[in-house]
Amino acid sequence: MENLDLIIIGGGPAGLTAALYAGRSRLDTLLMEKMAVGGRILLSETIENYPGFPGGILTQELMARMEKQVKELGVKIVSEQVLDLDCASRIVNAAGGSYQAGAIIIASGARPRKLNVPGEEQYTGRGVSYCATCDAPFFKGKKVVIVGGGNAVAEEAIYLSRFASAVSVIHRRGDLRASPILQERMRQNSKINFILNSIVTQIKGTNSLESVVVKDLLSGKVNDFACDGVFIYIGSEPETLFLKNKLQMDEAGFIVTDENMATTAIGVFACGDCRKKGFYQVINACGDGAVAADSAYKFIANQKGK
């Protein structure tokens, strides 16, 4: 079993920032990421609100820069899926073996939440998508629906409008939650229209997706709305199933921490989108990661000093 100072689970913005600070603290650090380094933020084409990049920066470019910066500090990165974590002994069991460390940082992120309506599973990959950046080119000249009302919906609706002939935003409330500047851009786009106070109750088709059933929450009326694709952006669920009954989490599975990113397990810290908080953005995921690495460093130094 390999012994290290620090293991970081997850290689998104939070995990990479934690790795950066751990590397600068000269901790023997291993970062484990089951997908591509950069995590699920790579599903977004551009990050427009990261400080220092007027006009935005391509997400792939920013993540590649962060990865290079981390590697230059000697942090080892492996493609491994974590199966289990023994918090007491700080042993990480992964598909490729087991590792032990003086401290653990969990930065496992979150996955898209599903609508859980009839037809969603059936047409996933055949019209239902959770990533406009990945799948928008398949809908060139077609009509698509995007479900949700936050910033991700606004950004992806604008992106989809470059390919689709029409983009209909369906949201359960009368007002969107997206930032005012993004709402302005949406309303200025002639391809984007809005179906508010409404929900999707079913996704229908034959060989491929053909329509969604839309219920108006004010009138109760139900209508079939013809479309070729449905993009779903209704929030996220934390990637914390491997931690069940091991740490304090809220009802949704987000990890509870204190202001130092410490969990209820000694020597185990959490940061980024897997952590319970009120605001989920790349910039504060990075802030979480820096704090978690600093807390881990102090914990390790204290343990070595005993």
Q: What is the CATH number of the domain that holds 211?
A: 3.50.50.60
Which helix (H) or strand (E) is 66 found in, with range?
Answer: helix 59-72
Q: Is residue 131 among the annotated active site residues?
A: yes
* C-alpha closest to that of 263 among 231, 237, 238: 238
Mean pLDDT for each consecutive 10-residue tract of the chain (306 residues)?
94 98 98 93 84 92 97 96 95 94 97 94 92 88 97 93 98 95 96 98 94 98 97 93 94 96 98 93 95 98 84
Please indicate, yes or no, whether residues 220 and 198 belong to a single structural domain of this protein.
Answer: yes
pLDDT of residue 306: 62
Residue 267 and residue 188 share a domain? no
Tell whether 180 and 282 lie within a shared domain: no
What is the rounded distance in angstroms from the CA atom of residue 144 to the CA atom of residue 141? 10
211 shares a domain with 278? no
Same domain for 215 and 244? no
* Same domain, yes or no: 74 and 165: no
207, 232, 257 — which closes off a domain?
A: 232
Q: Which residue among 179, 201, 232 closes a domain?
A: 232
Residues 158 and 291 in one domain: no
Domain that holds residue 189: 114-232
Catalytic residue among 86, 87, 131, 294: 131
Same domain, 121 and 262: no
Q: For the chain, how many structural domains are there in total?
A: 2
**CA triple 172-175-181, angle to 5 deg:** 130
Q: Is 135 a catalytic residue?
A: yes
Q: Which residue type is seen at 280? A: Y
In a shared domain, residues 164 and 213 = yes
Q: Assess whether 175 carries a catalytic annotation.
A: no
Burial per residue of 79-111, b for 16 or more beta-carbon CB atoms within 10 angstroms, e otherwise: ebebeebebeebbbebeeeebebbbbbbbbbbe
pLDDT at 52: 95
pLDDT of residue 125: 85
Q: What is the reported pTM?
A: 0.82
Which residues, 6+ apart, have CB-to-CB distance to 119 below 8 Å?
Answer: 128, 202, 203, 204, 205, 209
36 plus 47 within the same structural domain:
yes
What is the dihedral sign for C-alpha 44, 95, 87, 104? negative
The answer for residues whose C-beta is within 8 angstroms of residue 87's C-beta and 6 or more apart is: 104, 246, 247, 265, 266, 267, 268
Of the residues 84, 134, 250, 258, only one is catalytic, namely 134
Whether residues 166 and 24 share a domain: the answer is no
Question: Of 5, 28, 87, 135, which one is the catalytic site residue?
Answer: 135
Residue 2: its pLDDT value, please? 86
Q: Which residues contact 140 (CB under 8 A, 6 or more apart)?
A: 163, 164
Domain end marker among 232, 248, 278:
232
Cα-flanking dihedrals φ and ψ of residue 57, to 5°?
A: -140, 145
Cα-flanking dihedrals φ and ψ of residue 289, to 5°? Answer: -60, -40
